């Protein structure tokens, strides 16, 4: 009986199967890497805003407390954005004719809010509450980075599920005294932070056993 396929057919078939499997695994790996790349997470990318607001100037150089503009950060799920009235409480006297602030003046005179572009925008299926994090001693810089050093605002951390879980699994690495929450320059060595953090996690009643439950962030 004549042989239909050459003797090398089995080898070729095995090589093709290996290449298909490698291509599939490679595609998954590339998709995983892209999902965590700067193009997708937008880490380090400046978000264009209606007014080029500088946290470096306002928070660091002028020493304005975060809570002056973000009034609900201690009690609400949202940190809150300053109204045009808040901006003009200072800028009606300072730089009140600056072209840079034209959008703020127009917003106030037309009673139309400025449309700020969100820099830290979590998916709709993620529940996040600023207030509970602040009340449990998580500093602004843990998520927002040294925003007081940013002339324009960019995203400092990826805010992926994996990134959030690192903190939820080890809250002692991030929790600080409550009077240091808004201190951007607060920093301890790893050993000191772990010692202080463990004591504060217990003192603040942070439920370690529930932080990684699905329902904590997905409700």
| Cα dihedral value 46, 79, 146, 189, nearest 10 | -150
Residue 3 lies in a domain: no
Residue 36 included in any domain: yes
Q: Is residue 184 in some structural domain?
A: yes
Per-residue confidence in pLDDT tens, the chain, 219 aa: 555 656 666 677 677 777 777 777 766 655 555 455 555 788 999 989 999 999 999 999 999 999 999 999 999 999 999 999 999 999 999 999 999 999 999 999 999 999 999 999 999 999 999 999 999 999 999 999 999 999 999 999 999 999 999 999 999 999 999 999 999 999 999 999 999 999 999 999 999 999 999 999 998
Residue 86 lies in a domain: no
Any domain includes 90: no
156 lies in a domain? yes
Q: Which of 166, 173, 162, 215 is nearest to 198 (CA)?
A: 173
Q: What is the pLDDT of residue 5?
A: 59
- Kindly report the pTM of this predicted structure: 0.79
- Establish if 20 belongs to a structural domain: yes
In terms of Cα–Cα distance, which of 147, 141, 2 is closest to 60? 147
Domain residues for 23? 9-41
pLDDT at 11: 76
Residue 21 class from Cβ within 10 Å (0-12 exposed, 13-18 middle, 19+ buried)?
Answer: exposed
Q: How many domains would you assign to the chain?
A: 2
Residue 149 included in any domain: yes
């Amino acid at each position: 009986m004549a042989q239909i396929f050459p003797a090398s057919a089995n080898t070729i078939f095995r090589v093709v199967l290996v290449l298909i499997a490698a291509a599939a695994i490679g595609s998954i790996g590339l998709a995983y890497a892209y999902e965590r790349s700067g193009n997708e997470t937008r880490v380090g990318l400046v978000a264009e805003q209606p007014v080029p607001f500088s946290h470096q100037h306002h928070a660091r150089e002028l020493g304005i407390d975060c809570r002056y503009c973000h009034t609900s950060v201690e009690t609400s799920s949202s940190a809150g954005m300053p109204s045009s009235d808040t901006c003009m409480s200072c800028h009606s006297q300072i730089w009140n004719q600056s072209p840079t602030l034209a959008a703020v003046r127009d917003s106030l005179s037309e009673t139309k809010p400025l449309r700020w572009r969100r820099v830290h925008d979590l998916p709709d299926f993620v529940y996040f509450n600023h207030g509970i994090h602040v009340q449990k001693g998580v500093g602004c810089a843990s998520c927002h980075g040294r925003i007081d050093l940013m002339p324009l605002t960019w995203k400092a951390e990826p805010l992926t599920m994996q990134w959030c879980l690192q903190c939820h699994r080890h809250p002692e690495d991030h929790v600080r005294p409550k009077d240091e929450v808004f201190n951007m320059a607060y920093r301890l060595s790893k050993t000191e932070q772990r010692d202080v953090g463990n004591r504060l996690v217990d003192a603040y009643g942070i439920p370690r056993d529930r932080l990684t439950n699905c329902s904590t962030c997905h409700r």
